Chain A
Amino acid sequence: MNPYAEPLLELKKASKAYNGSVNTLSPDETSVLLDDVSLVVRPGDRIGIFSSRNIESISLINCLAGISSLDKGELIHRASVSWPVGANDALDPKLTGHANARFAFEIYEDPANYQEKLELVRNLCELTEDQFHSPISTYLGRDLQIFRLALSLVIDFDCYLIGRVGDGWKRKGQVRKPSPVFAYMKEKLEGKTLLITSAKQAIFALRYCTTGIAIIDGKIAYNGDPKVCLDMALEHRQQLTLQQIEANTASDSDDLSGEDLDES
């Protein structure tokens, strides 16, 4: 990591709120997901994003990828930045795996590489030619998860944003051998610039990142050791849970006292 290198990705004073049901919010309540967040990603950075609420870190990854708009602030991409690895909303269930993968390559890859990369995706997903040329709506959930992951990894980006990758790729089939995409991911992400959400994959994030940021109440509360970030996020989550339990207990007792009054 070179602190003087030109940033690949910059987020300036970003804010984002969410209307509706995050945890226990009612539809007319607003939850702040990001509040005045600034972040600079330089070549070689491997940053884990730890937050007490999963939606905050996922939202930050989505905003950095540019698939979710910011309410305020600015996002600057100075290099090719991936979409959140492991997700892919652009896949159309009516199209075959081959057609979906080819479309992604047509957008992001050099035409000379299409065939080689299509073959690589098929091999990583352990699909037969027939399966690869079938609509992805016929794929099993785990196969689709592996397909999404393989497609994201096969394309060469300068910076990878890693969203929720799930765990279907860890084991495949009755023999319980790891999917080839598991080994490929380790190889591909070696030495690459990464940002990883820790949402439901804290161990995975700790394994791949060298530094971390802790997001508490939408703000970056700490930037440094990933383990400290994880501890801060967990501690704040416990506090939120306790507050929630207290609030629920209070509202239950209010309801009960209301009933008593009605009865009297």
Chain B
Amino acid sequence: MKTKKLQGNQFFQLLSKAYGKAYLQARIVAAISQRELRLRASKGLLGVAGVFIEPILGIATFMALRLLAGARTDYINPLLSLSLGFIPFFLFSDVAIKSLDGVQKNSKLYFYRRIKPLDALFGDAFLTTQVYGILMLFLYVSVSAWEWNFSIEVLGILSILFIIVAIFGLGVGLNTLIFGHRLPLLALFVRLTVRRLLLFTSCVFFPIRLIPDQFRIWILWNPLAHGIELMRHAVNPAYPIPGVSMSYFLFSSLGLLFIGFLIYGNNEQLLLADDP
């Protein structure tokens, strides 16, 4: 009886310790995110508003070019369709590709021993997700109010898909954090090419149904293309998504995150070393 009671106490002690650690980790991530927001705000003339306006301008430029080139208006409002391409794409690229410089960029923060490269990556990703999430919410609410067809269910599905895109970005970011630190040349190559390559292979400009079958199978290797098309499909279930799979998108995102954690766990000390 006494042994069982002791085991019970030990279990609760462990649980309380784990909760304490998780709470501290969450506090650290939130603090880094807030610090990053303050830093970004201090760089621009518009302060915190500038943090949101800057990506809007970037996305608006691309969208204007695409709309001028003649965006298709079937199934979904073209503005919403393009927003659902650009916003997840920029979320992904900001989280994943910027992680290439993550270790060096945040090196000053490791002066506080409690902060690890993982926390810095999570803090940045949390802020980026918040910024693009608010943008997406704003655009969805504006377009659906304009068309008078707001649906809380669609918003819910969009939010879930958006979070999976963020997880996918984080998974890739965790891997690039380590590779970027270990192989600076590879990091440079990725920085110069991958973002452009992904922009044209993630269904940002064109829906998957317009891509010929022989090329579609290659595009469908890219989980981001699945995520973007699923978001459009969520807004209008009649929107055709041949070959797109929710399970592929979900499991590749979670799988990459898992692999990222695995690689990170084995390389954390290396990231904290004085010299790369």
Contact = CB atoms under 8 A, between A and B. Distances in A.
Nearest to B107: A89
A135 B39 CA distance: 11
Interface stretch (B56-64, B109-117, B177-185, B190-198): B109-117
Contacts of A107: 27-28, 31, 112, 114-115
Interface in A38-89: 65-69, 77, 81, 83, 88-89
A106 B113 contact: no
Among A67, A77, A111, chain B packs the most CB atoms within 10 A around the CB of A67
Contact of B110 (A67, A77, A81, A95): A67
B113 A81 contact: yes
Interface string A106-134: 11100100000000000000000000000
A106 B42 CA distance: 20
A92 B113 contact: no
A81 B114 CA distance: 10
Interface residues of B, number: 22
A69 B272 contact: yes
Nearest to B24: A107
A90 interface: yes
B108 A67 contact: no
Given A83-B113, A108-B112, A68 B274 contact: yes
A90 B111 contact: yes
B114 A95 contact: no
Given A99-B38, A103-B31, A107-B31, A94 B112 contact: no
27 contacts: A67-B110, A67-B111, A67-B113, A69-B269, A69-B273, A69-B274, A83-B112, A89-B108, A89-B111, A90-B111, A90-B112, A94-B39, A94-B42, A95-B35, A95-B39, A99-B35, A103-B31, A103-B34, A104-B112, A106-B27, A106-B34, A107-B27, A107-B28, A107-B31, A107-B112, A108-B112, A135-B42
When A and B form their complex, which 3 residue pairs have the shortest distance between CB atoms, in order from nearest?
Answer: A106-B31, A90-B111, A89-B111
Given A92-B35, A94-B43, 15 more contacts: A67-B111, A69-B269, A69-B274, A83-B111, A89-B108, A90-B112, A92-B108, A94-B39, A95-B35, A95-B42, A106-B27, A106-B28, A107-B28, A107-B114, A111-B27
